[in-house]
Amino acid sequence: MIQQLDTLRAMRERALLGGGPERIAQQHRRGKLTARERIALLLDQDSFQELGALATHQSSEFGMAEQRYPGDGVITGFGKINGRRVAVFAQDFTVLGGSFSVVQAQKICRIQDLALESGVPLIGINDSGGARIQEGVRSLAAYGEVFVRNVLASGVIPQISVILGPCAGGAVYSPALTDFVIMGRSNSYMFITGPEVIKAVTGEAVSLEELGGPVVHASKSGVAHLLADNDAAAIELVKQLLSYLPQNNTEDPPAIAAYDAAGRMDDALNEAVPCDESQPYDMLAVIGRIIDHDSFLEIQPDYAPNAVVGFARLDGYSVGIVANQPMVAAGVLDINASDKIARFVRTCDAFNIPVITFVDCPGYLPGVAQEHDGIIRHGAKVIYAYCEATVPKIAVITRRAIGGAYLALSSKQMRSDLVYAWPSAQIAVMGAEGAVRILHRHELEQAADREALEREFVRAYREAFFNPYKAADVGQIDEVIEPRETRPRLIRALELLRTKVQQNPPKKHGLFPV
């Protein structure tokens, strides 16, 4: 028995070394942590239970018989983050470049199954050169096994992907199927085909960074939700993100003891919206004055910055915040902003997180490019997401809620539970100038002083429609409130809605306008 134990211990020792000390040193020289170091940072001390540490591949072609490492390039297991159970896998770049093999897939699938059956979040740390070419089609099929589990777990347990190295080819679709993607600023990239293939096929010359670097995915493609300066910061973001999410779709997110007075009113909010409606203001500052102090975690801050989405806390409870940002393109809804908002609302709905919407939107962005690129289809996503969501939904109209944007952004008709408006709210079918030119076309054409008459009509239109009281009269607004009252109002409303239950008609699944 002693000899058998010695054998086991020696094998475990070897597994701990991954690809060997030299490759570990190389990984450190690149400014990256090893897979085991990342897991150690992520999980509570001594909570990690590894599975499949001694598994190795069965290939012998292309000299693979001599390249057997215990664990086969991925570390899988379960553990705890701040006392919460989680499942985790981390690809080990020191072992054959973290290449994706059949054994890797089996290990990852095992942990995916365990996570789904146990109803615990799954965190994947990706650092892999791609499919293991030596294994041929078996390696490709193995990706499919992971994808199907990503899809089945979607909306049931939170799935978070952390990209801290290369992630190319088919490998990109597993993170893309998860709920959140966090990328390291200095060491990660994601693409379907690399710069060399693109050069050969289309003739376009592009660098790795320009093609699939973290900045590109955080600001242009929208693939990445958060960026982190280094491995440790990325892992810290995972912990923060998880703090707003429940263990699974039947549970509530963890609430924390309230540390900011529920009745706090910030007088500065009464002056947050400029009198001159053409002047922008920072919606992030408004949100910061309403939510629990320092509790906002913005998601996709660099993608479609004309919309703001993120998690926050109100009286210690997790909430999802959706807002227009008047500082960027007047907070208009365009294709990317629609995608961003729709995805976030659906994420909140899946995980029982109430949605608070701050509206200051002049409408959907007009333009040929937007129309041709499908603003109708993408804009419909926002409507679909709000209508479908059964979590508590509250809207606060801070200034403009014009046309389709009024309707789409959590209006009463989108099954919002409560709609508040600030006295500065302007709710109308369209902007004053446009409306006057349509409504008074004949009068304006025949007027001696067209400009003066138009100014007069615009003033009258504004007086009639650019206030919240008309909408309140017809029941589209529940209450017009002082801006400083917003925090206590929201907290009391959420207290009521905490036990809200709403059921959609039975169906296999809706046809989301993708």
Partner 1 sequence: MELLPAGIWIALQGMALVFALLALLWGVVAALLRTEREQAAPEAPARPGAKQELAPALVTAITIAVLTHRRLQRKEAAPAARSHQPGALLHASRWVAAGRTRQNRSWPPGRG
Which of 44/433 has CB closer to partner 1?
44
Q: Residue 236 or 456: which CB sits closer to partner 1?
A: 236
Block residue for tokens 């529940």 = 478
Site residues for partner 1, 182-241, by CB under 8 A, read 239-240
Question: Within positions 356 to 395, which residues make up the interface with partner 1, using CB under 8 A?
Answer: 390
* CA atoms within a 13 Å half-sphere pointing along the CA-CB vector of 406: 19
Rounded CA separation 83/39 (Å): 15
Tell me if residue 170 is catalytic: yes
Identified catalytic residue from 119, 380, 404, 472: 404
Min dist CB 258 to partner 1, Å, is 8
Q: Which among 287, 337, 347 has a CA at the least distance from the CA of 307?
A: 337
Residue 52 appears among annotated catalytic residues: no
Measured from the CB atom, the residue of 171 and 309 that comes closer to partner 1 is 309
Cβ at position 383, least distance to partner 1 in Å: 21
Residue 319's φ and ψ, nearest 5 degrees, are -135, 155
Is 153 a residue of the active site? no
Q: Does 501 bind partner 1 (CB under 8 A)?
A: yes
HEC readout, 435-487: HHHHHCHHHHHHCCCHHHHHHHHHHHHHHHHCCCHHHHHCCCCCEECCHHHHH
Tell how far CA 221 is from the center of its chain: 13
Instruction: Tell me if 261 contacts partner 1 by CB under 8 A.
Output: no
Nearer to partner 1, 15 or 123 (CB): 123
The residue within the footprint of partner 1, chosen from 79, 246, 331, 403 (CB under 8 A), is 246
User: Is 316 near partner 1 (CB under 8 A)?
Assistant: yes
Assess 511 for contact with partner 1 (CB under 8 A).
no
Contact string 53-82 vs partner 1 (x = CB under 8 A): ----------------------------xx
Residue 404 annotated as catalytic = yes
* 202 vs 502 by CB, closer to partner 1: 502
Residue 512 sits in the site that holds partner 1 (CB under 8 A):
no
- In sequence order, what E strands does 53-141 have? 74-81, 84-91, 122-126
Q: Is 485 exposed, middle or buried (0-12, 13-18, 19+ CB in 10 A)?
A: middle
Stretch that binds partner 1, among 18-26, 181-189, 245-253, 416-424 (CB under 8 A): 245-253
* Residues from 143 through 172 that contact partner 1 (CB under 8 A): none
Please select the residue that binds partner 1; options are 250, 278, 279, 446, rule is CB under 8 A: 250
Residue 116 or 333: which CB sits closer to partner 1?
116
Residue 137 found at the interface with partner 1 (CB under 8 A): no
Question: Interface with partner 1 includes 496 (CB under 8 A)?
Answer: no
Give min distance, CB of 301 to partner 1, in A: 16
Catalytic residue among 119, 155, 170, 222: 170
Task: Give the C-alpha separation, 376 to 373, whole Å.
Answer: 9
Residue 84's beta-bridge partner residues?
A: 81
Nearest to 334, CA basis, from 372, 296, 384: 372
DSSP classification of residue 221: I
Active-site annotation holder among 405, 408, 432, 493: 405
Residue selected from 191, 244, 358, 466 as contacting partner 1 according to rule CB under 8 A = 244
In eight-state DSSP terms, residue 131 is B
45 binds partner 1 (CB under 8 A): no
Torsion angles phi and psi, residue 188, rounded to 5: -125, 150
| Distance, CA of 489 to CA of 471 (rounded, Å) | 19
Nearer of residues 148 and 255 to partner 1, judged by Cβ = 255
Taking CB atoms within 8 Å and a gap of at least 24, the contacts of 23-27 are 23/94, 23/95, 24/94, 26/94, 27/93, 27/94
The CA distances from residue 207 to 127, 167, 197, 355, in Å, are: 19, 15, 12, 39
**Under a CB-based contact definition with an 8 Å cutoff, are residues 118 and 85 in contact?**
yes
- Please select the residue that binds partner 1; options are 139, 247, 324, 357, rule is CB under 8 A: 247
Please work out the total of residues on this chain that contact partner 1, with binding judged by CB under 8 A: 39
> What's the min distance (Å) between Cβ of 13 and partner 1?
33
End-to-end CA distance of the chain: 60
Binding of partner 1 by 251 (CB under 8 A)? yes
Contact footprint for partner 1 (CB under 8 A)? 81-85, 119, 239-240, 242-244, 246-247, 249-259, 294-295, 297, 316, 352, 390, 498-499, 501-504, 506-508
- Residues with a catalytic annotation lie at 169-170, 404-405
